[in-house]
Amino acid sequence: MGQGTSQTLAPLTARAGWKKLQQHSASMRDAHLRDLFAADAKRGERMTASGAGLYLDYSKNRVTDETLQLLVQLANEANLRGRIDAMFRGDKINSTENRAVLHVALRAPRGEKIVVDGEDVVPKVHEVLDRMAAFAQRVRDGSWRGQTGKRIRNVINIGIGGSDLGPVMASEALRHYATRDMTFRFISNVDGTDFVETTRDLDASETLFIISSKTFTTVETMTNAQSARKWLLDQLGGDESAIAKHFAAVSTDAAKVSAFGIDTKNMFGFWDWVGGRYSMDSAIGLSTMIAIGPEQFREMLAGFHEMDEHFRTTEFSKNLPAIMGLLTVWYVDFLNAHSIAVLPYDQYLKRFPAFLQQLTMESNGKHVTLDGRTVDYMTGPVYWGEPGTNGQHSFYQLIHQGTHLIPCDFIAFAKSLNPIARHHNLLLANVLAQAEALAFGKTAAQVEAEGTAKELVPHRVFEGNRPSNMILADHLTPKILGALVALYEHSVFTQGAIWNINSFDQWGVELGKVLAQRIAPELESPSEPPLKHDSSTNALIRRLRADGRH
Ligand code: G6Q
């Protein structure tokens, strides 16, 4: 078992690479990017790497060649190469759920072979993709008709978490490529407002719901799906035969889909080896495929695959996801950073940070190793962000002059998909200026030389030495989006491999779900229920019950 190899490894903090990095970090704490650049005229050209259409400039990080060598040593000592091979081979590296982790199979070209439990999964992947393509084509060209004979104008994906965030992000990111004669909307929150506000102006006879749920048991999704069913039948006169024309399902559970009343001809499957947050390129991407069409969806898969191959075959010192993952470990464990800001300079990527929050934090927000020991080092950082330039006018202040070290990932494109006037040059000027200002800052001497009043000088000093990555591509395409998502998927994998944690389970979301199941009937009970929570929860339940909801 791939990640099982951890048992044969020394604990992370006892390894030679870790100890050397600890010593090295003491000398690096005071190293300033100004000096690192001054000492090496070619740094900005040398500390770069390319792959799958992406260019990464990591020169504005607080690292030297020695840091990178030691990080690669750390990767080797963690058997990163062996772990990558184990994932691509289909080993059950999600050991707490005894599952393979094969999102890479979702974008494997026809003819490749990946065997899980004795079965090649690649043909199954392509069979579902072909069925999705046929369905998407019919919805797009209007040959799929609703109950009253009208064509579909509105597609609503109902799902949550991994069954929502990827499709939402892709819907925004690829809007330029999407058909403009349909609307694409998303309902995730169990808050009825989400359902009501999303549907209020829509005609049910032109609306297709896609119920996306791997398990088909998730309370939020099932509650919204029932409301969708009622909303549709209320508008269309109550004939249940309308369900088959207005509902499709994406799930791993055909029996539950059928029990809900959805024709399994309109069901698109995936498998337990696809984690929710790694599923936007599975059938969970059906709304994306309807929006951009099957060909462009396949282009997106090709971008994912190109980055997969880059990650699988490139030496770590030139490997984009490995470099980004190792830099994250460097900042979190050796330079005391707690969060990473992701700052796309592209309006289409406005939901990319939200998508990444789940991908990164649900994956690496873990405090025990694969063999169940509590870690004695920091693991997954907080990821957050907003598109530039908006963020510049709000939270960048803290990144520039605050007391926290916040490494930034800037994402930008050479060309705009909407080239009007000077907009794009101004956008690019801003992203370059921010990275420059963060790294090099402005010294007291420079501030004084500008004639600044003495008492204002400290306020106007920029210390600099704030690290960032710059990720560039030519322009945003489905293929580039695939490569970008895979870049972060594999960066997360790299981090998880070093930390020796399971990046593919999410037990941390369970407890709240169980408690909510217990509290809901207590809120709804007609008679005063006996409450056995803590005094705070008991009092809050009584207070909300007094509002007459039972
Ligand atoms: C993702 C998580 C989680 C999951 C949702 C929805 O990795 O497992 O976010 O995607 O809880 O689950 P269902 O698809 O089963 O409804």
Of 99, 189, 214, the residue with max ligand 1 atoms within 8 A of its CB, to mutate for a pocket test, comes to 214
Which of 220, 299, 362, 522 is catalytic? The answer is 362
For 457, the enclosing helix (H) or strand (E) is helix 457-460
Please, what is the average pLDDT of the chain?
A: 96
Tell me the backbone φ, ψ of residue 384, rounded to 5 degrees.
-160, 170
Q: Whose CA is nearest to atom 1 of ligand 1?
A: 276
**Ligand 1 touching residue 215 (CB < 6 A):** yes
Q: Whose CA is nearest to atom 16 of ligand 1?
A: 213
Asked if 362 is an active-site residue, the reply is: yes
For 487, the enclosing helix (H) or strand (E) is helix 478-499
- Give the distance (Å) from ligand 1 centre to CA of residue 161: 5
- Give the distance (Å) from ligand 1 centre to CA of residue 181: 30
Pick the atom of ligand 1 nearest to 215's CA: 15
**pLDDT score, position 1:** 40
* pLDDT over threshold 90, residue 537: yes
- Give the distance (Å) from ligand 1 centre to CA of residue 95: 18
DSSP-derived 3-state class of residue 412: strand
DSSP-derived 3-state class of residue 54: strand
Question: Taking residues 193-218, what's their average pLDDT?
Answer: 97
**Ligand 1 touching residue 166 (CB < 6 A):** no
**pLDDT score, position 549:** 62
**Ligand 1 touching residue 489 (CB < 6 A):** no
Tell me the backbone φ, ψ of residue 302, rounded to 5 degrees.
-65, -35
pLDDT tens-digit map of 279-333: 999 999 999 999 999 999 999 999 999 999 999 999 999 999 999 999 999 999 9
Strand-strand pairing, 468-473 and 54-57:
antiparallel
Asked if 77 is an active-site residue, the reply is: no
How far apart, in Å, do the first and last CA atoms of the chain sit? 51
Question: Taking residues 431-439, what's their average pLDDT?
Answer: 98
Q: How far apart are CA 308 and CA 280, in angstroms?
A: 15
Pick the atom of ligand 1 nearest to 251's CA: 14
What CA–CA distances, in Å, run from 475 to 174, 426, 484? Answer: 12, 16, 12
pLDDT tens-digit map of 163-182: 999 999 999 999 999 999 99
DSSP state of 206: G
- Give the distance (Å) from ligand 1 centre to CA of residue 192: 20
Percent of the chain with pLDDT over 70: 98
Of 160, 220, 273, the residue with max ligand 1 atoms within 8 A of its CB, to mutate for a pocket test, comes to 160
Which of 463, 513, 524, 528 is catalytic? The answer is 513
pLDDT tens-digit map of 110-167: 999 999 999 999 999 999 999 999 999 999 999 999 999 999 999 999 999 999 999 9
pLDDT band at 3 (very low <50, low <70, confident <90, very high): very low
Which of 42, 265, 393, 454 is catalytic? The answer is 393
**Ligand 1 touching residue 161 (CB < 6 A):** yes
Asked if 246 is an active-site residue, the reply is: no
- Give the distance (Å) from ligand 1 centre to CA of residue 329: 26
* Residue 230 CA to its chain's centroid (Å): 32
Pick the atom of ligand 1 nearest to 212's CA: 14
pLDDT tens-digit map of 9-30: 899 999 999 999 999 999 998 8
**Ligand 1 touching residue 163 (CB < 6 A):** yes
Q: How far apart are CA 494 and CA 423, in angstroms?
A: 37
pLDDT tens-digit map of 365-410: 999 999 999 999 999 999 999 999 999 999 999 999 999 999 999 9
Determine the Cα angle at 522 with ends 516 and 527, to 5°: 170
- Give the distance (Å) from ligand 1 centre to CA of residue 264: 21
**pLDDT score, position 9:** 83
**Ligand 1 touching residue 224 (CB < 6 A):** no
Q: Is 475 exposed, middle or buried, given 0-12, 13-18 or 19+ CB atoms closer than 10 A?
A: middle
- Give the distance (Å) from ligand 1 centre to CA of residue 187: 14
**Ligand 1 touching residue 162 (CB < 6 A):** yes
**Ligand 1 touching residue 167 (CB < 6 A):** no
**Ligand 1 touching residue 52 (CB < 6 A):** no
**Ligand 1 touching residue 218 (CB < 6 A):** yes
